Structure 1
Amino acid sequence: MEAADLLNDAGFSVLEAGNAEGALRYLERHPEVQLLFTDVQMPGACDGFALAREVARRWPHIAIVVVSGAARPAPGELPDKARFFSKPYNPTLVLGTVQELLAA
């Protein structure tokens, strides 16, 4: 929720999904989405690393930010263009990265 508040306060429209499957269903219906911001740990069979890989494969135009307070990605675990932040993260740095990704 902290990330959603950060992005909302910066003027972005934010949708929160309860799990990876819900996020994928939403993306299937809404091609206008430009950014996936996900935590590694989430309910369901798919974690944030797997979600990031699937989104990059199916929607290569979507920018991806992954965060976690418990896990770090192994080499090759995230798509090349994805960015990772450990929690607690610096909100200013994360917001700047989001803006940079969306401008690219």
Structure 2
Amino acid sequence: MLAAAVRDRWPPIQIIVVPGKQKPSARDMPDHSVFFPKPYDTRKVTDQLHKMAA
């Protein structure tokens, strides 16, 4: 998974995971990452981006 590769290379980065063909399992999700299923809830995504940028 791309998110895991990014986490390995840049550990402090926070990651938002969005679906491709299927939802990743909990064990496939990198630490400190957030999953947003489709259709996206704009308010939840925006709130999470604000938290990550703080």
Pairwise TM-score range, normalised by the shorter structure: 0.7 to 0.9
Higher RCO, Cα 8 Å, sep 6+:
2
Q: TM-score when scaled to structure 1?
A: 0.48
Report runs of 4+ in structure 1 exceeding 2 Å deviation: none
Q: After superposition, give the CA deviation of every residue in 1:42-92 in whole Å (9 maximum; x if it has no partner).
A: xxxxxxxx1100110110121100111641111210111010010001111
Contact 1:65 1:83 in 2 (8 A): yes
Q: How does 1:59-70 map to 2 (within 5 A)?
A: 59-68=10-19, 70=21
Q: Which runs of 5+ in 1 are unaligned?
A: 1-49
CA distance in structure 1 between the aligned counterparts of 2:10 and 2:25, rounded to whole angstroms: 22
TM-score of the aligned structures, taking structure 2 as reference length: 0.85
- Partner of 2:17, secondary structure, is strand
Task: Confirm or deny: 8 A CA contact 1:69 1:88 kept in the other structure.
Answer: no
* Distance across 1 between alignment mates of 2:27 and 2:38: 20
Larger gyration radius, structure 1 or structure 2: 1
Q: How many residues are paired up?
A: 54
* Cα distance between partner residues in 2 of 1:102 and 1:89: 19
Note if 1:58 corresponds to 2:5: no
Q: Percent identity among equivalent residues?
A: 39
Q: CA RMSD in A?
A: 1.3
Unaligned runs of 5+ residues in structure 2 are none
Q: How does 1:93-104 map to 2 (within 5 A)?
A: 93-103=44-54
1:80 is aligned to 31
